[in-house]
Chains A and B, each alone.
Chain A
Amino acid sequence: MCNLRHITKNLLLGVLMLGSACLYAQENALARAQQLLRAKPPGYMEIAALTIDSVIVHPQTKNDFVAWTTRAFIYFEFYKLHDKLKLNSAHRDTIVNSLLVANSLQPDSNYLVQNNKLLVNLSKNYFNLSRTLLQDSVNDQRSAIAYNRYKALYRMVDPKMDFSSDDVKYYLAVGSQYSALFIKDNNDTKSQDVAKVALLKVLEIQPDNPTANINMGLMYYNQAVNLSKSLDYGADFSQIDIVQENMVKLAKQSEQFIIRVYTNDNKNLKAIEALYYIYRMLNEPAKSDDFKKKGEELGIKFSDQTADKEK
């Protein structure tokens, strides 16, 4: 009887010790992962990832926000090295997921701040990616995905964030990029549509935005110019009439946008310059001369067609 009590006591002690050892083993693993992250020895990322992945599934540590935050930072190392310029990144997904779990485990304020900063970092990387995809790769669709992910990720940190000013910047960039492409090639109606949609989004937010109005107006004006350029010298009178009809429609559409800018700011050089060219096209010499005079007084040097050819 005494022996049995002795055996049970030892057994319980053993289980307790084993349990403690297991617990400390996981805590040691977490510390080891952090150590690796700090010291960065060769091949540290893979070992650190393996270690932390075992920590976050262990019952003893799976609800430890420190473990999840550490995991996010370990995967951030992979991300920085391999995935920063990728639109779709498993590492980025792992980081975001880890940070969200960490934040759901009621971390202390220090951890919460770190976690949110990392989320903001990732979201801004999406923004930069949207810029690269737009301006370097000229891929509006992938750029839009990146831009929307930037906003979605940022909202995880600050649900009340107002993106109006970013939207204006982003859609202006899309609009100017694609209107330039359309002006180069009038058959590229896809670019025209992308530019129009983007610039109209800006005008929804800021109806008087000068850049959007000017770019929208000039897209129509330059389209009219290209129509006249494409007119063959041997075209008959009926063809001339059709081209003129379309030119006038486009020039009047252009005028609507530019005049809005001029009405708000009668010293806007871009608007004054554009209105001179628009009224010249519309055969309204009194108005075009008036804007030319105003422009010259404000220092605009109006180029003639020779300059356009050189461009």
Chain B
Amino acid sequence: MAFKIKYYLCKIHFNLSKSFKYLLVVFCLISFKFQQPSTFDANSKIKAVFLYNYTRYFEWPEKKKVDNFVIYVVGKNENLIMELKNLATKKKVGNQEIEIKNSSTFDPAVTSHIIYFTPEAAKPLGDAASKNKGKGTLVVAETPGGCKSGASINFIAIDNKLKFEYNKNAAVKAGLKTNEDFKALAAVNID
């Protein structure tokens, strides 16, 4: 009988050994995965929100209150273009639909309400500012000394946050009616 018991337990052991192998495999399969960083460009979203906010603080000439409100992006920034296009589907400036235009280099023939120069395409900033004098175009840049080179607004980073400097004179020269409250919102005012 003892032999039988032992024999039988050996058989059980054999079967269990097989299940151990199986268990061992599953045991190792508990999985953990790396999270993926979101590729969403938060700063492009913030810039789009800033650009839309600017429309509340400036008044464009009457002749520019017809047709679409054009935001012209000079340079390559796919993420910003996408954000602005999203913005255009959701918001209006007064009764004007928002239209986004983009070119890799500055095209003086493009009529717009806001021109934004990406950091890489900011070279013709001064030229653009002088060509748009009195035409009711808000020139926005993102380059060191942007406001001194003719931009009305220049994005800057302070304490890792996106802020802006403001040149009221440049905005007035551009033919825009300005709001005094706006000066208080700028991180730096350049006269």
Give the number of chain B interface residues (Cβ < 8 Å). Answer: 54
Say if the beta carbon of A215 comes within 8 Å of chain B: yes
Q: Does A149 contact B (CB under 8 A)?
A: no
Interface: A27 (CB within 8 A): yes
Interface assignment of B30: CB less than 8 Å from any CB of chain A: yes
Q: Are the CB atoms of B30 and A170 closer together than 8 Å?
A: yes
- Which chain A residue shows the least CB distance to B90? A233
Set of chain B residues within 8 Å of A285, measured between Cβ atoms: 119
B49→A233 contact, CB < 8 A:
yes
User: A304 near B49 (CB under 8 angstroms)?
Assistant: no
Partner-contacting stretch, out of A7-15, A52-60, A109-117: A109-117
Question: Do A240 and B53 touch across chains, with their CB atoms under 8 A apart?
Answer: yes
B157 contacts chain A at the CB level, 8 A cutoff: yes
Interface stretch of the complex, out of A91-99, A156-164, A176-184: A176-184
Residues of chain A within 8 A (CB-CB) of B31 are 135, 173
**Across the interface, do A38 and B8 meet the contact criterion of CB distance under 8 Å?**
yes
Taking a contact as CB atoms closer than 8 A, the residue among A131, A218, A248 that contacts B29 in the complex is: A131
Q: Contacts A121-B16, A214-B35, A224-B42: A128 and B5 contacting too (C-beta < 8 A)?
A: no
- Report A113 CB to chain B, min CB distance, Å: 8
Are A117 and B13 within 8 A (Cβ)? yes
A222: which B residues are within 8 A, CB to CB? Answer: 35, 37-38
B35 adjacent to A303 (CB under 8 Å): no
- Complex alpha-carbon distance, A113 and B90, angstroms: 71
Q: Which 3 residue pairs are nearest across A and B when measured between Cβ atoms? A: A283-B157, A228-B42, A172-B32
Q: Interface on A for B, CB 8 Å cutoff?
A: 27, 31, 34, 37-38, 66, 69-70, 73, 110-111, 113-114, 117-118, 120-121, 124-125, 127-128, 131, 134-135, 169-170, 172-173, 175-176, 179-180, 183, 211, 214-215, 218-219, 221-222, 224-229, 231-237, 240-241, 243-245, 247-248, 251-252, 270, 273-274, 277-278, 280-285, 302-309, 311
